[in-house]
Copies of this chain bind each other. A is one copy, B any other.
Amino acid sequence: MRIIKEHGERRTEIIDAAENLFAAKGYASTAISDILEALNIAKGTFYHYFVSKEALMDAVIERYIDAEMAVAQAVADDPKISAHEKMFRILTDAGRDNERGDRLEKEASAVGNADMHQRTMASIVLRLSPILEGVVRQGMREGTFNTAYPKECMEILLAASEFILHGSAFAWSSAERLQKARALAWMAEKVLGVEEGRFSYLYKRYEGDGGCCDQC
């Protein structure tokens, strides 16, 4: 019996399979034929949905960013918590599946397509900054944040973070990366008018990242 699937459902299945295969075998080692085999679909079906393996990776990334933004928006919309707590939860991915994100970031960079990478970074900046702007404005009402540019500060700090810390453009050592993250946290405190040290959680993840000794 031939099973006719809804357009959106089939598309989702292909993205699911791709994400699993990219994670298991790596992007470079996954062939479109692996995806066809896993889903038992024809080549023509695949190309009805995606023009290439790169376009499929784009869709995998897009769906991941969608999910991340939904989580961030839900935190921002919570009427019971302070701006500082929201900022912390959103920026540290508290409680989220970091492993999945890290794996995806690694595989996405394996695509070796700078254009895709730049598109991803720009998308994060454009989508996350209005959410964080709302949090900053809440903080200003609460008297814990104080800045002349709530929107642009978030855009500029996010852009710098994406380009400097997450981009493939620089080959920093772990110690250098930690130092940039420290400076970025300090700058964020200055321009958002919060007390020094308040954003130190922003660089914790870079501490001991290939650091000085096993005890770190």
Contacts and interface: CB of A to CB of B under 8 A. Distances in A.
Nearest to A150: B183
Interface in A112-156: 113-115, 117-119, 121-122, 125-126, 148-149, 152-153, 155-156
B156 A183 contact: yes
A28 to B, nearest CB: 17
A151 to B, nearest CB: 8
Interface stretch (A3-11, A38-46, A72-80, A162-170): A162-170
Contacts of A182: 149, 152
A70 interface: no
Nearest to A170: B122
Interface residues of A, number: 35
Copies of this protein in the assembly total 2
Contacts of A155: 164, 180, 183
B169 A160 contact: no
A157 B180 CA distance: 12
A17 to B, nearest CB: 28
Interface of A: 113-115, 117-119, 121-122, 125-126, 148-149, 152-153, 155-157, 159-160, 162-164, 167-170, 179-180, 182-184, 186-187, 190-191
